Structure 1
Amino acid sequence: MSKLNKIPRKSTWVDMTAFVDVAFLILSFFMLATKFKPPEVVKIDNPKSVSSENQPDKDVFKVSFDKDGRVFVSFSADKDGKEKAQLTAEVLSRQKGLNLSNAQIAQFVNFSVGGIGVPVTQLPSFLNLSDADYKQLKQPGIPVQDSTNNQLNDYLNALLTGTGGRKPTNVMLNGDNGTKYPYFKNVLAAFKKNGIFSFKLITSLEGVPSGTPLYKQQNERK
């Protein structure tokens, strides 16, 4: 009768230290590299639509207005957006005699990602705010209700003057569904006065009616 040789048992313990180190390195990389969308200082209840396009985030200039008619301008956080925000601040400072410092211009660029909604004359004091005070402040909005003092013209003119007439790739209009028509009309009037005739309207997505071409197109993609 043959004698079976027993296979010697080996330890199954694996040193995971290297794997844990790699995991923490990857996690640290994503924490440092990830860009979070900055909070906007005004809440907008957008009108509904069935548009299937996503909102762009590169080279964006956005004009927002809430149901009370408060108007804000903002720029995207990418290189093109920051460059245009800085040029806008520099031209406003020069045209309106604001004498903004380099620190205030840098704060304009910083605040412009979340939204700026103050009269031009209030910019110097506004740009002295800390980030925490900026988030707490209820901005009055850029005056547009009076056609003789539509200060959105000043912001738009400064933007186009600074860029030599080069418009941002994505001009967005972000309006509240409850805004009164005169505010909307005066915003469009400022666009027209500065030669901006093409822009994208931000809406909230709703269900696509069944049987429509867009409904069939979306189902074909699934």
Structure 2
Amino acid sequence: MGKVKIKRKSTLIDMTAMSDVTVLLLTFFMLTSTFLQKEPVTVLTPSSVSEQKVPTANLASVLVSPEGKVFISIAGDADAELKDTWGTEALRKTILDEAVTLYNKQHPSNQVQLSAQDREAFSKINMFGVPFQVLHQFLAMSQTEQDKFISDMTQKGVGIPVNDNKDMEHLNEFQIWMRAIYNSGNDNLQKAMKKGEGIAVKADKDTPYDVVQDVLDNLQTLKMNRFSIMTALKTEQD
């Protein structure tokens, strides 16, 4: 009796449906993800058990590097298409104008003059940190040159000057920027700052304590008594 031949089944698998699902998932994650903004220096924050997330809109972020250099990032409303909202780029231009005006009033013999191109360049920058006298030179650079300049922590012209100033008639440069942010005209940002959700301070665990203390004291001197301290979530090993 002859052997019965078993009909071989094709091993070919139609992957069309799998590919469609993969593309849909990829598209979903791309549209719903929040991309990390570029920062001039890597900061390793201290650990804590707090799980509260820092907002991504209507926020002034203050970063203090391990070398004690201070930088600021500004974010406006998430949806600038709605009525009475501020887009991030428009907000940055307004804050720049306000800050330069405040600085020039306090330094009439050494005023800063910025062009329309400078204002446009500033609106594209996520995080900045140079003295006012270096601002025009910095904004005239290409993005690559800006990144290279601001990431060099040995540069004297890197970092917003800050000290323990308590004289509200003669603000230091960090205080000028924070005052300009509060006076920007963006009601949503101002309300967030009053609630303690509009200011976040991020410092490296090795940052000199006196610099961090100056930043916090400056905020309190400006009556900005409510702010967040950014930390990393503590793990079991910690």
Report if TM-score (shorter chain) is over 0.5: yes
Residue aligned with 2:42, SS: coil
1-side partners of 2:201 and 2:181: how far apart?
16
Aligned alpha-carbon RMSD (Å): 3.4
Gaps of at least 5 residues in structure 1 are 1-11, 210-222
Residues 148-188 of structure 1: CA deviation (Å, up to 9, x unaligned): 87321111122123227825442101111112222112111
Identity %: 25
State the 1:27 CA deviation. Answer: 6.9
Corresponding residue pairs, total? 194
Matched, 1:144 2:162: yes
Q: Which has the higher helix share?
A: 1
Find the counterpart in structure 2 of residue 93 from structure 1. 100
Deviations 1:9-64 (A, max 9, x none): xxx9x9x7xx9899989978986897632221121121110112223212111111
Distance 2:48 2:20 in 1: 47
Matched, 1:153 2:160: no
Partner amino acid for 1:93?
Answer: V
In structure 2, C-alpha distance between the alignment counterparts of 1:20 and 1:206, rounded to whole Å: 38
Shift of the alpha carbon at 1:208? 6.3
Bigger shift: residues 77-86 or 183-192: 77-86
Distance 2:32 2:206 in 1: 38
User: Which secondary structure does the structure 1 equivalent of 2:141 belong to?
Assistant: coil
Could you tell me which residue of structure 2 aligns to residue 105 of structure 1?
119
1:201 aligns with 2:229: yes
Once residues 186 and 198 of structure 2 are traced to their aligned partners in structure 1, the CA distance between those partners, rounded to angstroms, is 17
Q: TM-score, normalised by structure 1?
A: 0.71
Compared CA separation, residues 160 and 133, structure 1 to 2 (3 A): same
Worse-matched range after superposition: 76-85 or 148-157? 76-85
Calculate the TM-score normalised by the size of structure 2. 0.67
Local SS of the residue matching 1:162: coil
| Structure of greater Rg | 1
Secondary structure, in 3 states, of the residue corresponding to 2:128?
Answer: coil
Aligned amino acid, residue 71 of structure 1? V
2:121 corresponds to 1:129: no
Structure 2 CA distance for partners of 1:180 and 1:35, relative to 1, 3 Å: closer
Distance in 2 (CA, whole Å) between partners of 1:103 and 1:32 is 31
Tell me, in whole angstroms, the C-alpha distance in 1 between the residues paired with 2:52 and 2:34: 21
> Which residue of structure 1 lines up, in the alignment, with residue 203 of structure 2?
175
Distance 1:185 1:27, change over 3 A: closer
In 2, Cα distance between equivalents of 1:75 and 1:63: 9
CA distance in structure 2 between the aligned counterparts of 1:108 and 1:34, rounded to whole angstroms: 25
Q: Rate the CA distance shift 1:180–1:81 in 2: closer, same or farther, 3 A.
A: farther
Whether the aligned pair in 1 keeps the contact of 2:164 and 2:218 (CA below 8 Å) is no
